[in-house]
Amino acid sequence: MEKELKNDLYIRALLREETERTPAWMMRQAGRYLPEYRELRAKAGDFMSLCKNPELACEVTLQPLRRYPLDAAILFSDILTIPDALGLGLYFSAGEGPHFERPINSLSDINNLGILDPNDSLKYVTDAVETITRELKGEVPLIGFSGSPWTLATYMVEGKSSKQFTKIKQMMYREPDHLHKLLRNLALNVANYLNAQIEAGVRSVMIFDTWGGVLGHREYRTFSLEYMSLVISLLTREVNGQRIPVTVFTKGGGLWLSHIAESGADAVGVDWTVNLGTARKQVGNRVAIQGNVDPSILYGTPESIEQSVYLAVNDYGDGYSAQDLEFNRGHVFNLGHGIHQDVPVESPAIMLEALRKFTERK
């Protein structure tokens, strides 16, 4: 791990330290909205071929940094690498997203799941982290990530993307002990996986709870948040005297921000349905906040993009002057979810320029 970062704004913001401006990165910033990514993917043949080639994964990770003044890089990979390594047979169908050849259908399927050694079955990921870290040369921190245990379980039980989550909710209400067993296995695997990424050089990790928002209030705390808290409790939180911040993002989780703030995470991510000022009041000084403009603002005019950024940062800084030290403390600007594949490539630059304009202290 590099001892010094040339730009550590992202890390300082996650730790709620003073920053000269609000740092930013974009969920899915390395991906298909960029023509250079589409060209590389065509040469690679398919998505997983990119993910499993450390040199190509490095190239994809670095592509957005060449275009935009971002304050962090995020590992190019997929949230479903763990279930793939567990032997479920991940594949992607055009226009249909991820599928598994061997989904979880019974308790015996759960019992047959093991605990992975990430430096063996997921070595292509740790190799990619080492390659990216070397190529970044300390310019910005690298973010590692995993899907949450609940989110991974939804894909593993449903066998694919779902709108109704019928199979896993049947398990949840009919055989909750089976689901708890699956989630505990996944929590241990996720913790090992993230720790391997930390050991390989990432400077922060993020847990994507993409489908936590489909749960009821009690069920969210029992089947999602409890297991993310377990993951966090098992993580390496310091390397060479440097804190490794953890961010938890539950899409649709705005009602539970106060509970998420008690998970042990350093930061909570919020989607665009949440007012940043309200979110800040809910979590107080316990955690930083990441988010949260609607990714669709990037379809807008330069003026409307700038206005959306202005409103978001002022919501967060409600009650503070833009020159006040507390105005942007603890805020990482981001989209409320992943960038859309067909946005104009000029739009992110407009958004990031506006952010600097509105948050940089003179």
Strands of the sheet containing 246-250, edge to edge, are 73-74, 142-147, 204-209, 246-250, 267-269, 288-290, 331-332
Q: Which residue in 8, 71, 78, 209 is the catalytic one?
A: 78
Confidence of residue 302 (pLDDT cuts 50, 70, 90): very high
Catalytic residue list contains 271: no
Q: What is the pLDDT of residues 53-109, one digit of tens each?
A: 999 999 999 999 999 999 999 999 999 999 999 999 998 876 668 999 999 999 999
Domain edges within the chain: 8-359
Dist. CA 338–CA 348, nearest whole Å = 12
Active-site pick, 21, 41, 243, 356:
41
Q: Does the annotation mark 299 as catalytic?
A: no
Is 210 one of the annotated binding-site residues? yes
How many angstroms separate the CA atoms of 19 and 329, rounded? 7
Q: Note the helical H segments in the chain.
A: 9-14, 35-44, 47-51, 54-67, 81-83, 107-111, 118-121, 123-136, 149-158, 166-174, 176-200, 217-219, 226-233, 257-260, 276-283, 302-316, 347-359
Per the structure block, which two tokens stand in for 174?
A: 């009919």
The answer to whether the predicted template modeling score (pTM) of the entire model surpasses 0.75 is yes
> How far apart are alpha carbons 239 and 287 in whole angstroms?
20
32 annotated to bind ligand: yes
Mark whether 102 is an active-site residue. Answer: no
Q: Is 315 a catalytic residue?
A: no
Backbone φ, ψ for residue 331 (5° rounding): -120, 125
Give me the pLDDT at residue 3, please. Answer: 57
User: What is the rounded distance in angstroms from the CA atom of residue 173 to the CA atom of residue 176?
Assistant: 6
Number of Cβ within a 10 Å radius of residue 4: 7
- Show the tokens assigned to 281: 């009041």
Cα–Cα dist 276/274, whole Å? 6
Q: What is the pLDDT of residues 131-146, one digit of tens each?
A: 999 999 999 999 999 9
pLDDT at 233: 98
Instruction: Name the CATH topology of 8-359.
Output: TIM Barrel (3.20.20)
> Which one from 155, 193, 220, 316 is the annotated catalytic residue?
155
Among 21, 28, 237, 356, which one carries the catalytic annotation?
28
Quick one: pLDDT at residue 195? 98
Longest dimension (CA), the chain: 62
78 labeled binding residue: yes
